[in-house]
């Protein structure tokens, strides 16, 4: 009796590819989520102050100009300001990630609405600011706080000592939609915050773990 052995070959390439694609999507999603979270943690999320800080800017037709700042900066940190629309912070909420299945990659960065602001805060660079008036005329108080006091020997336009009246404005980026007459302009240098870069550095050590056991199943 002669025995014959028959070998049956089953091509499971489609199933393997499907398992690979499914696992890759999950891995890329995890990598994108972790990187975004670590980038968000580099930001300082704060609420604007209810009462502003005032600083003398100059004069306009003999009337003092005073800037009102509701958003004082913090050295070494990029602030993601909380607003009514973005309770977790504007810049923080603007960080997104998207998966590219064809290239098998994931991209993390700001949305198109915040690209300019995020790029400037990330890499730093020169910027032009405008001082736009927010008071309709000279005032002695603004937002519930006295604008300031005259120095020793100074008098206001009416010849009085003490508090003075001033035109109040806010420094904004030249691209800002805030309305108001522009009274002054200045060039500033924004330091590089590198919050996206720092977030990526925090993620790199754990990235390989997100692709562990990428393909599973029989």
Give the pLDDT band of residue 131 (cuts 50, 70, 90). Answer: very high
DSSP 13-63: HHHHHHHHHHHHHHHHHHHHHHHHHHHHTTEEEEPPPSS-EEEEEEEETTE
Pair type for strands 125-133 and 141-142: unpaired
Distance in angstroms (rounded) separating the CA atoms of residues 171 and 169: 7
Token pair, residue 54, equals 């005032």
Per-residue pLDDT tens for 35-67?
Answer: 999 999 999 989 999 999 999 898 888 888 999
With beta carbons less than 8 A apart as the criterion, state whether 50 and 208 touch.
no
Of 44-48, 155-159, 195-199, 202-206, minimum mean pLDDT range: 155-159
Q: Which residue has the higher pLDDT, 193 or 158?
A: 193
Is the pLDDT at 164 greater than 50, yes or no? yes
b/e burial code for range 100-119 (CB count within 10 A of at least 16 → b): eeeeeebebbbeeebeebbe
The CA radius of gyration of the chain, in Å to the nearest whole number, is 29
Listed residue (119, 124, 127, 131) closest to 172, CA to CA: 131
Is the pLDDT at 163 greater than 70, yes or no? no
Is the pLDDT at 69 greater than 80, yes or no? yes
């Amino acid at each position: 009796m002669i025995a014959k052995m028959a070998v049956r070959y089953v091509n499971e390439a489609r199933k393997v590819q499907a398992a690979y694609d499914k696992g890759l999507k999950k891995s890329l999603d995890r990598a994108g989520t972790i990187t975004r979270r670590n980038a968000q943690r580099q930001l300082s999320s704060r609420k604007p102050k209810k009462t502003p800080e005032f600083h003398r800017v100059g004069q306009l037709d003999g009337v003092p100009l005073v800037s009102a700042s509701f958003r004082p900066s913090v050295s070494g940190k990029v602030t993601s300001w909380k607003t009514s629309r973005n309770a977790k912070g504007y810049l923080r909420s603007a960080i997104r990630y998207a998966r590219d299945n064809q290239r098998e990659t994931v991209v993390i960065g700001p949305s198109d609405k915040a690209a300019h602001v995020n790029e400037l805060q990330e890499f730093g660079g020169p910027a032009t600011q405008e001082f736009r008036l927010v008071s309709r005329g000279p005032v002695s108080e603004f937002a519930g706080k006295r604008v300031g006091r005259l120095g020793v020997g100074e008098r206001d336009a009416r010849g009085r000592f003490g508090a003075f009246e001033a035109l109040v404005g806010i420094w904004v980026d030249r691209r800002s939609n805030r309305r108001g007459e522009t009274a002054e302009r200045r060039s500033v240098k924004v330091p590089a915050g590198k919050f996206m870069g720092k977030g990526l550095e925090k993620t790199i050590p754990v990235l390989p773990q997100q692709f562990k056991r990428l393909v599973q199943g029989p």
